[in-house]
Amino acid sequence: MEYRRLGDSGLKVSTICLGAMTFGEADEKSFMHKVGCDEATSFQLMDRALEAGVNFIDVADVYGQEGLSERVIGKWFEETGRRNEVILATKFRFRMWPGPLGTGASRYHILRAAEDSLRRLKTDRIDLYQIHMQDNDVPEEETLRALDDLVRQGKVLYIGASNYAAYRLMDSLWTSKSQHLERFVALQAQYSLVARELEREHVPLCEHQRLGILPWSPLGGGFLTGKYRKNQPAPDDSRLSKWSDRLNRFDTPRNWQILDALDRVAAELGVGVAETALAWLLHKPAVTSVIIGARSLDQLNANLTAARIKLTEAQMDRLNQASEFDLGYPYTFIKQVQGRW
């Protein structure tokens, strides 16, 4: 397993991050109903990930319901005593209790959400605390000052952002610098062969400002696993078979072209399609660690092999070309003039 610095911080994390959104069997109130795994399987996944060299686990207070996934991790920490082997990341922002302050990035919500997460996770610190999405109703300085206070108190070690517009992220970094507040060291964002829009603004921004990118949904919600084929129904046990409207959105010539290119490169390497898609991300210079989800040990073991795959420059070029997307204005104009944007 390779370890990389997270942004401009001194924190070193494994290139594979175990995503915990599937941890715990959520009831029908949760968006993860029937697509998660039970507690025993969650424990096995964490044991196996650490055995393979993974030192990074990502969760959020909203995963499951009422902090279910955090509680599963907290119980595992309690039973195994392995807390100090893990770089623990969690997130806040979305609704966790009723009322106007039950959601958002106000000082009130952040401080209460952090205490709740610490209690559920049975730990005295959160290694990477991330805002799950920007809050347009709250001044960025208020959010950053609350996070800065948590760092000063030792309850949080590093802070990160997720699902931020590029302008807001840059504004946040400037606020941190000008007001002498803690700054984000990472951006967690959707990024995959089928979702490359991040490359318009966010990737150059993160490279310039030295933020590590943590891709979520690196397999396009499951589309890049190799389970799906053109003009064929989704397998009954697949995630997209439960969310058929999402599968229909993937039914485009570009996406089938991407799968075809992945098939060919994977065959050359003698590995799976999903692992090849993950390896493509790990070869992107701005990416620090790729967040993978798993509901079984077989899925986890397959995805772990991505950390060892070496793609040639020619193979990267083929995947890049197959997944080219419309840059739009002004990026296409800038690229025409100077060859890059």
Q: Which of 217, 238, 218 is nearest to 228 (CA)?
A: 238
Q: Give catalytic status of residue 63 as yes or no.
A: yes
Structure tokens at 319: 């995947």
Residues 6 or more apart from 309 whose CB is under 8 A from it? 269, 271, 275, 276, 278, 279, 282
Q: How many residues does the chain have?
A: 341
Which of the following is catalytic: 63, 158, 164, 228? 63
Per-residue CA distances from 25 to 49, 57, 170, 236, 256 (Å) = 20, 18, 38, 19, 33
Q: Which residue has the tokens 């210079």?
A: 285
6 Cβ partners below 8 Å, 6+ apart? Answer: 12, 13, 128, 158, 185, 186, 212, 288, 289
**Residue 49 dihedral angles phi and psi, to the nearest 5°:** -60, -45
Q: Which residues are catalytic?
A: 63
